[in-house]
Amino acid sequence: MKKQNLFLSFILTCFFLSSFNLQAQDNILQELEEIAIVDQKIMMPMRDGIRLATDIYRPKTDKKVPIIFSRTPYNFNSWGDGKQRTRTAQRALEAVKRGYAYVVQNERGRYFSEGEWDILGVPLTDGYDAFTWMKDQPWSNGKIGTIGCSSTAEWQMAVAALDHPSHAAMVPQGYGAGVGRVGEINEQGNWYRGGVEQMLFFSWLYGVEHDKFKPRIPAGATQEDLIRISRFYDLAPENPKVDMAEALKHLPIQDILKNINGKNEIFDKMIRRKPNDEAWFKGGIYHDDMEIGVPSFWFTSWYDVSITPNLALFNHVRNNSKDAKIKDNQYLVIAPTLHCGYTRATENTIVGERSVGDARLNYEEQIYAWLDLWLKDEKNDFKEKTPRIQYYTMGSNRWQASETWPPEEAKLTTYYLNSNGNANSLFGDGKLSTSKSTSDQADGFVYDPLKPVPSYGGNVCCTGNAIKGGSFDQQQMETRNDILVYTTDVLEKGVEISGFIEATLFVSSDAKDTDFTIKLVDVYPDGTAYNLDETIQRVRYREGYDKEVFMKEGEVYQLDLTPLSTSNFFEKGHRIRIEISSSNFPRFARNLNTGGNNYDESVGVIANNKVHHSAKYNSKIILPIISK
């Protein structure tokens, strides 16, 4: 009887919560209708005849108004229950109250929009054509600002490079999936890191991709018909629940989605692309040969999947824009949160299991001040009040400001790997020291791709139950012999590390190809070891992503890894640590060590890998240190 009562109580609680959410959504929509002209399911024409489903919310006024534009692959149908739809209505309400029209549109091939969807491959002209259509509306003042996080941000940078005259400002947030190549960083929209597949898209595509056999609206459907049927048909797929932690273990990786009855069309072609495949440069992602011509207010976070390329892009625009006005109008926020978690910061922000203190910031106030400046021509004090870069330093748990990234006061300090040849695990003799190793030493470990180092926390998103993102105590992980651990002496005074962290390893292996990983860790006096950032490098791409160069047994190779990024204060009594291994799974796909394609292989080989540190081979990490 007690169990029945508990179950009944649970059902009633769910019912009342659902009823409350629906009522809240209804209230928002009712308030919108009171102050706004609501025009839903407008089918905006693109140059090739494809029409994109668009909802418009604009103030009831005779004055021309600026536009806040959000284009997304996600569902924003305002009928029925759903967090995304409620958020859309809330954003529209706030924008209208502030004198803006709020326009939200689905990418081609998504929900009620016509055409075929291709993640990272939607034509750039769709954005340009949408700007032209909006600026020509009689209620528009001709100025458009774009805004959105993650997949609602990824299209903004490449479209900004088209330099449409009405694209007056943008606010990209968690935008890494739109970054292809920036200098030496070659992630191709978060698909790769160091030439290794990031498995987040394997999981994400399973959850969001629409089937080619999905129900489709007849061509030429009227706005009236679309509004009517949208109340009955959501067009949102509801895929069966999958244990993604188990699903991502399947080999070969090209069959992961097929193995869980997922939709393979987009995944099939992407999994075969190499990091420098020409197809990456034909889609909708930004590359560093494109000139961004839009004032931008960038939002990033320390535990996002793409913090380093995000920061590199900000620096690239500031340093390389041909237009001095554009250079001077780039601003940046770096929060201590997970992907798109800015507004979820609280008085006691917990990221993973680590408290980083009161990380709140007046995001909405700053964003609207920015938009008012560029879309309304308001002579406000945004530029006087807002630091160029606002970044949160964990450990000291405070917001700081800088004119550059890294901060100018950061001094690059080199720490060398040292040991007596036994840096394996937390219990080994690995040391980080400012003194070079004078003995000819190497630390070896066995990498078995069928027994990879599990991902534990980290800078992730979108992996279902496979990984919990954020900062977690790594001590138990560090008991593994296939993890090399190098730690400084106890710090006699606190130091802040803020900036890019570069690592150069000298490595060898008996395999033709393998990977090397690195992780930066803050070690507390009681031994708690919180991860800060991590990266990986596939050795075959050590000389560039346009060629593959395999290893020979007995030879030592220099490996320069993609930089890490953080801002963390290591208090007096703490220690700085790095971990090195050859896997971080399922954050990154496993290297099967054969030198083959990897994506179509099911059988791997065990690699005996070494990291060298000697007078000749100075494996090292370079830390941007600010003394306190």
Pairing of strands 389-393, 398-402: antiparallel
In angstroms, the Cα distances linking 79 to 231, 236, 441 are 6, 12, 66
Q: Are 73 and 208 in contact (CB under 8 A)?
A: yes
Averaged pLDDT score across all residues of the chain: 93
**168 residue type, one letter:** A
Dist CA 185 CA 179 (whole Å): 10
Q: Are 452 and 389 in contact (CB under 8 A)?
A: no
The number of residues in the chain equals 628
Of 9-23, 231-245, 306-320, 578-592, which gets the smallest average pLDDT?
9-23
Q: Are 327 and 316 in contact (CB under 8 A)?
A: no
Predicted pLDDT at 205:
94
Q: Are 468 and 245 in contact (CB under 8 A)?
A: no
Residue by residue, what is the 3-state secondary structure of 280-323? HHCCCCEECCCCCCCCEEEEEEEECCCHHHHHHHHHHHHHHCCC
Burial of 570 (0-12, 13-18, 19+ CB in 10 A): buried
- 48 pLDDT more than 50: yes
CATH number of 411-627: 2.60.120.260
Predicted pLDDT at 234:
81
Predicted pLDDT at 80:
58
CA quadruple 473, 478, 483, 486: dihedral, nearest 10: 80
Dist CA 399 CA 202 (whole Å): 35
Dist CA 406 CA 416 (whole Å): 21
- pLDDT tens digits, one per residue of 74-115: 998 866 555 556 788 899 999 999 999 999 999 999 999 999
- 22 pLDDT more than 70: no
Q: Where are the beta strands (DSSP E) in 394-457?
A: 398-402, 411-418, 431-433, 441-447
- 12 pLDDT more than 70: no
Q: Are 613 and 517 in contact (CB under 8 A)?
A: no
Predicted pLDDT at 209:
86
Dist CA 107 CA 189 (whole Å): 17
In which residue are the tokens 């990209």 written?
A: 172
Dist CA 165 CA 563 (whole Å): 36
Dist CA 179 CA 347 (whole Å): 32
| Residue among 308, 282, 351 nearest 530 (CA) | 351
Domain layout of the chain by residue ranges: 411-627
Q: Return the sign of the alpha-carbon dihedral for residues 279, 170, 384, 339.
A: negative
- 330 pLDDT more than 70: yes
Predicted pLDDT at 82:
55
272: β partners: none
Tokens representing 119 are 């993640």
Tokens representing 287 are 């590359």
In which residue are the tokens 């960083």 written?
A: 185
- 6 pLDDT more than 70: no
443: β partners: 611
- 118 pLDDT more than 60: yes
Per-residue pLDDT band for 439 (boundaries 50, 70, 90) equals confident
**pLDDT average, residue stretch 321-339:** 96
